[in-house]
Amino acid sequence: MDLFGSFALLLAFLFAVYAVFAGIAAIRTRHPLLLKSARNANFAACILIWLATASLVYLFFTDNFAMAYVVAHSSRDLPNFYKFAALWSGQEGSLLFWSFLLAGYTFAALFVNRGKHPELMPYVGVILAGIQLFFLTLNNFIASPFQVLGRIGPDGLARMIPLADGRGLTPLLQYPEMVIHPPNLYMGYTGFSVPFAFALAALLGRYPGEKWIHITRRWTMIAWGFQSVGIILGAHWAYAVLGWGGYWGWDPVENASLLPWLTGTAFLHSVMMQEKRGMMKVWNIWLVFITFLLCIMGTFLTRSGVVSSVHAFAQSSIGPWFVGFLILILSVCLLAYVRNRDYLRSDNQLDSMVSRESGFLFNNLILLAACFAVLWGTLFPVISEAVSGSKISVGPPFFNKVNIPVGLFLLFLTGVGPLLAWRRTSLESLRRNFGWSLLAGLIAGVVAFALGVRHFYAITCLMLSFFVTLTIASEFFRGARVIHARTGMNYVSSVVHLTMRNTRRYGGYVVHFGMVLIFIGLAGAAFNQDVQMAMRPGSHFNLGRYTLVCQNFEPRTGRNYTAERATIEVLRGGRQLMMLYPERRFFQASEETGTMVSIYSTLREDLYVVYAGRDPDSNVPVIHAYLNPLVKWIWLGGVILALGTLLAMMPNREAVLALQAAPALAPSGLASAQVSTLPQPITTYGSQD
Amino acid sequence: MARRTDARLKSFFASRRRFSRWALAAALVAMVGILPGHAQQTSRAKILSKRLMCMCGCAQVLGECNHVGCTMSGGMLKDLDRQVAGGGSDNLVLQSFVQDFGEKVLAEPPARGFNLLAWLMPIFVTLAGFAVVRTVMVRWRHPALATAAGPDRMSGRLSARKNDASEAAADEMLQRVRRESGLDD
């Protein structure tokens, strides 16, 4: 099976090479057979990559400890659940996983658009095959996951030496979320390849109009949705596993995932300017390019070890390859832009300074400013060392100081932007749309201040959250009121009807509401408390309204670890509330320890208890407890954001009905003409905001 | 007699269980070693611990580092506690860490020399961005200042108008909702 995997990868590499060169030749000669064979080579490469990945998974499940990668990341006692996750736990496997997911996107993009867009798709095929070729080069020749352990015998022949057991999976990765967090994030990273390929193809092929945007809108949203969910899951994993009481440490690897998300978010907004008004073509195409470049850069930061990180699991000397690839992509993008920039001339015209268009401009500015600040802070230690020779750190205090004001301004725009009208918004309209929401926000701030909240950013965040929530609610209410008045539907049905009539707009609002909840959760961090104490059985301490009493410490054994578990009784108002069981685990195979945090989570606050180890002097166990307000709102916001994204990707109800009605209209000539125009609303609905 | 034997056996096995539990606990302690747990810090020491980085290479703030197998944070926190208890000012305490570990120990770059750029660049870029957006808006507000229209420009405008028209026709009801609900001016 090891030979099968490496052979499949090698064959996939050859097919990808063919897909690139035959595709280029087909574009030049416009030979239909060559075009078809290039596309089929792309399909074949995808299938072979899937087979190679399946063979590696099989090697994990069959405990094949002759394979270096299996030995390094698995062991016999590793639960099957995690044997699957071991696939992407190391350098080689995660690169193969990149190829695997990219193959999925490539196959889907080419298959869904087969027979369509003949001027565009050959370019798309070449670009996607080119990206795949880079990863296949790494998979085959730089970091193969199919290397076997062996040595040269006395007869000069190489022999495989299977080991009795593997070294096991890193304890930090033995957590259920690690089975879903990395795939989500990778689906985001790889997913941005599709809009990138279409954008570059449109530029290279001078494809007319904004059609590439309509084609890729859902692809972009899929990638963005996965990236969002991946980031939220990653934060939850850090919170529940790393045991430091927080969820976002501005670690370079975390930052790397945030960068393309920020530019991708900017693109999802500014693209509406192009669809609706034919504006900002250059900006949009560069946003797509930058988003993809940041995806590759994120992978580079994770893999290269150029910046130190607590959870860069797979570092190696692979960095220069990624730098080379980044330079190559940037050069291709620049060249394509310089040669075809006249194609991107836009109809940029602003009717008023106060309009939806100006709102989008500021939205993009703020998102890109945040992106720059994060990138700058992440890379500054490297820049500083190169320029001044001195090593410095750029930690969470820097990122918080720089990004919190930017984030709050963005939250403000989240409320203002959607209610600004296209072309022009009058002062009367501003007063009507924002008056009550602004007033409610101010009242919320005053009430919070009266209740003793003195943290400036927290109060501002609360006021803005009220403001944005009410603007969103009023948008739903006003629409529903009209439908209610015209059709007699009740308000709930009216809201559903309204939402399903324009899923993109109202799904977007749901996403915004999810972001509001996330911001509220983040603001809660201003009021975090923690206590750390060496505890013997019977001792106790108070934290907020809770009393924590240490009951005992006891050993226990799991399938592939031994552990010491603390039993902590939690009292509130003198009455027992619950028992918490934080523990520290020791994994025999990898000889590493891991933390199992115990959390009592409510909408108001999280009581987060960590067994921090033993005091170096007294050898008494130390319990570290945190009281983190509003953290649950972040996870709730993440769920709502994901649901909103799904909603925004759904087709509008009217468009679906129109398509369903199509066959009945077919018989007459006139009806046939109508039928032929029927699918059009899908694309026009797609252009609604 | 049999009852006594049973009791002895039970006692023997109970003590065996107790023994094995203690043995396991001892093994764990031996294996896990002395972890970086330490006693309660004062609130000032806590605040200062979040302005310092752990020097084990985990890239975490000192006050939040519970990095598995960390060999640095325990000692650094103790040192911090000692210095805070000694009554030194915040700057003095931080400087003593800088003397021991270099500027890398500070969680944010000091705002002087080249490192001042770390703070200025995000502000500069944001302000420059605002200036660019303002300029762009002024230019777009007065199309006469914009570059001359070419054929593509015209086609872009036509396609935008076509989009608007088709959208209005396709979803007249929604347009009406927006108009009647006072959202469109």
Q: What is the CATH number of the domain that holds B101?
A: 1.10.8
Q: Do B126 and A362 touch (CB under 8 A)?
A: no
| Across A104-113, A443-452, B162-171, least confident range | B162-171
Query: Cβ contact (<8 Å) for B60 and A310?
Result: yes
pLDDT exceeds 80 at position B146: no
- In 3D space, the residue among A520, A560, A553 whose CA is nearest the CA of residue A539 turns out to be A553
pLDDT, tens only, B65-108:
776 567 788 889 889 989 988 888 899 999 999 999 999 999 99
CB A30 within 8 A of CB A57: no
- Strand order in A529-534's β-sheet? A529-534, A621-629, A605-614, A598-601
Within its chain, how far is the Cα of A79 from the centroid? 27
Nearest CB neighbour to A586, from listed B21, B32, B37: B32
Residue B143, token pair as written in the block: 């199309």
Q: Are residues B104 and B123 in the same domain?
A: no
Contacts of residue A640, defined as CB under 8 A and 6 or more positions apart, other chains included, come to: A510, A511, A513, A514, A517
The SS3 of residue A591 is: coil
Specify the pLDDT at position B158.
43
Domain extent listing, chain A: 1-168, 175-419, 527-634, 651-689
Of residues A271, A486, A651, the one with CA closest to residue B173: A486
Whole-number pLDDT of residue B10: 52
Q: Which of A96, A272, A271 shows the shortest CA–CA distance to A186?
A: A96
| Residue in B with minimal Cα distance to A471 | B183
pLDDT for A28 beyond 70: yes
Check pLDDT > 50 for residue B147.
no
Higher pLDDT, B135 or A302: B135
Instruction: Specify the higher pLDDT residue, A410 or A652.
Output: A410
To probe the interface with B, which of A376, A393, A424, A535 has the most B CB atoms within 10 Å? Answer: A393
Contact list, B34 vs chain A (CB under 8 Å): 613-614, 616, 619
Top-ranked range on mean pLDDT: pick from A457-461, A620-624, B34-38: A457-461
Contact flag A482-B61 (C-beta cutoff 8 Å): no
Percent of the residues in chain A that have a pLDDT greater than 70, as a whole number: 92
List, in order, residues 6 or more apart from B4 with CB less than 8 Å away: none
Do residue B9 and residue B58 come from a single domain?
Answer: no
> What are the residues facing A569 on neighbouring strands?
A549, A579
Task: Give the gap in angstroms from C-alpha B137 to the nearest C-alpha of chain A.
Answer: 7
Q: Say whether pLDDT at B162 is over 50.
A: no
- Over residues A501-549, the pLDDT tens digits come to 889 999 999 999 999 999 999 999 999 998 888 899 999 999 999 999 9
- CA distance to partner chain B, nearest, from residue A637 (Å): 25
Residue A674: predicted pLDDT: 34
pLDDT of B18 reads 57
**pLDDT, tens only, A574-604:** 899 999 999 988 887 777 777 889 999 999 9
End-to-end CA gap in chain B:
100
pLDDT at A678: 31
Compute the distance between CA of residue A290 and CA of residue A529 in angstroms, rounded to an integer: 40
B140 is a domain residue: yes
Does a structural domain hold residue B74?
Answer: yes
Q: How confident is the model at residue A6 (pLDDT cuts 50, 70, 90)?
A: very high
pLDDT digits (tens, 9 = 90+) for B96-112: 999 999 999 999 999 88
User: Which tops the pLDDT comparison, A639 or A687?
Assistant: A639
The C-alpha of A191 sits at a distance from chain B's nearest C-alpha, in angstroms, of: 27
pLDDT band at A645 (very low <50, low <70, confident <90, very high): very high
pLDDT digits (tens, 9 = 90+) for A86-140: 998 888 999 999 999 999 999 999 999 988 888 899 999 999 999 999 999 999 9
Using alpha carbons only, how large is chain A's radius of gyration in Å?
A: 28
Lowest-pLDDT range of A3-12, A334-343, B20-29:
B20-29
pLDDT for residue A19: 97
A421, pLDDT greater than 60 = yes
Smallest CA–CA distance from A170 into chain B, residue? B68
Which residues are CB-contacts of B158 (< 8 A; sequence separation ≥ 6)? none
| Predicted local confidence at residue A643, as pLDDT | 97
What was the pLDDT predicted at A150?
79
Q: What is the pLDDT of residue B173?
A: 53
Interface touch B185/A426, C-beta < 8 Å:
yes
Tell me the average pLDDT across B158-169: 45
Structural domain containing residue B180 = 152-185
Q: So what's the pLDDT on residue B20?
A: 55
> A479-500, pLDDT tens digit by residue?
898 888 888 888 999 999 889 9
Q: What is the mean pLDDT of residues A201-227?
A: 88
| Per-residue model confidence (pLDDT) at position B44 | 86
pLDDT at residue number A345: 77
Average pLDDT along chain A: 87
Q: Is residue B38 part of a domain?
A: no
Query: What is the percent of chain A with per-residue pLDDT over 90, rounded to a whole number?
Result: 54
Q: Specify whether B47 is located in the same domain as B98.
A: yes
Distance from CA of B22 to the nearest CA of A (A): 8
- Cα gap A101→A186, rounded to integer Å: 8
The per-residue pLDDT for A312 is 53
pLDDT at B87: 85
CA distance A645 to A650: 9
CB A568 within 8 A of CB A550: yes
Q: Which of A72, A127, A124, A77 is nearest to A94 (CA)?
A: A72
Q: What is the pLDDT of residues A297-347, one digit of tens each?
A: 888 877 776 776 655 555 567 888 999 999 999 999 999 999 988 888 777
Which range among A422-426, A610-614, A668-672, B101-105 has the greatest average pLDDT?
B101-105
Q: Which residues of B touch A428 (CB under 8 A)?
A: 185
> Sorting pLDDT into bands at 50, 70 and 90, what band is A275?
confident
In this predicted model, what pLDDT tens digit does every residue of A110-123 receive, in sequence order? 999 988 888 899 99
Residue A617 is predicted with a pLDDT of 75
- Which one of A131-140, A301-310, A350-359, A380-389 scores highest in mean pLDDT? A131-140
Q: Which residues of B touch A429 (CB under 8 A)?
A: 182-183, 185
Is there a contact between A433 and B184 if contact means CB atoms under 8 Å apart?
no
For residue B31, the model assigns a pLDDT of 44
Q: Are A10 and A2 in contact (CB under 8 A)?
A: no
ipTM: 0.81
Contact A350 B146 (CB under 8 A): no
Band the pLDDT of A431: cuts 50, 70, 90: confident
Number of domains in chain B: 4
Q: How far apart are CA A538 and CA A309, in angstroms?
A: 39
